[in-house]
Amino acid sequence: MEYVFTLKYRLSAEDCDSDEIVERLGEAGCDDATVGVGQPGRIALLFSREAESAFEALVSALKDVKSAVPSARLVEAGPDFVGLTDVAELAGVSRQNMRKLMLSHAIDFPAPIHEGSASVWHLSDILDWLTERGGYDIKADVIAVAKSAKQINLAREARELEPRLNRQLESLVA
């Protein structure tokens, strides 16, 4: 099956020649990705990758990018972090309809991971909720990619948090 997803990276100072990076990515097997290099020091890859599962597709792409650009640091796998407009588009409803659903089902609607003037959710949480309710045409591959992207992002965040927690615990215990 073909899975569509995005990987966003922060580049090191020595890896800022975008033409060279694009060439290296192609040689490493990322010829199924459209490469975006708009912001200096950043790169985004929109993949359309064949694999047995969404998770396998994302992991193989992560490995390919790492082999091409070892110093690149993953910022985000997507689709994962979304607003109501993004979800409405995927669910085939208006943003107003999605907002009504959120407000009228405040008790069981998924909690945002960031709440504010522009709230942000994990896409897979809302897609699961919509699927349970029924009546929405949400493709299984989109749900699978959203769940896999969420897992990868949470693992990345945990890995970044762990060294800080260990240092704090060491200072408390010592």
Q: How confident is the model at residue 16 (pLDDT cuts 50, 70, 90)?
A: confident
- In angstroms, the CA 104 to CA 12 distance is 46
pLDDT for the residue 167: 66
pLDDT score of 123 more than 80:
yes
Give residue limits of the domains in the chain: 2-78, 81-138
One CATH from 3.40.50.2020, 3.30.70.3400, 3.30.70.100, 3.30.420.10 for 2-78: 3.30.70.3400
- Taken as a whole, the chain contains a residue count of 174
Q: Assign residue 92 a region: left if phi > 0, alpha if psi is -120 to 50, beta otherwise?
A: left
Radius of gyration, alpha carbons of the chain: 18
* Helices marked H in 28-82: 54-68
Percent of the chain with pLDDT over 90: 73
Look at the domain 81-138 and name its fold: Multidrug-efflux Transporter Regulator; Chain: A; Domain 2 (1.10.1660)
Domains 2-78 and 81-138 share a fold: no
Quick one: which of 143, 144, 135, 46 has its CA closest to 92? Answer: 135
Percent of the chain with pLDDT over 70: 93
Q: How confident is the model at residue 19 (pLDDT cuts 50, 70, 90)?
A: confident
Residues 6+ apart with CB under 8 A from 125: 110, 150
pLDDT score of 158 more than 90:
no
Q: Assign residue 85 a region: left if phi > 0, alpha if psi is -120 to 50, beta otherwise?
A: alpha
Q: Which stretch of 43-47, 71-75, 160-164 has the lowest confidence by average pLDDT? A: 160-164
Strand partners, 43: 9
Q: Which stretch of 79-83, 159-163, 169-173 has the lowest confidence by average pLDDT? A: 169-173
- In angstroms, the CA 90 to CA 14 distance is 38
Structure confidence by residue, pLDDT tens digits, 51-90: 999 999 999 999 999 999 999 999 999 999 999 999 999 9
Structure confidence by residue, pLDDT tens digits, 124-138: 999 999 999 888 889
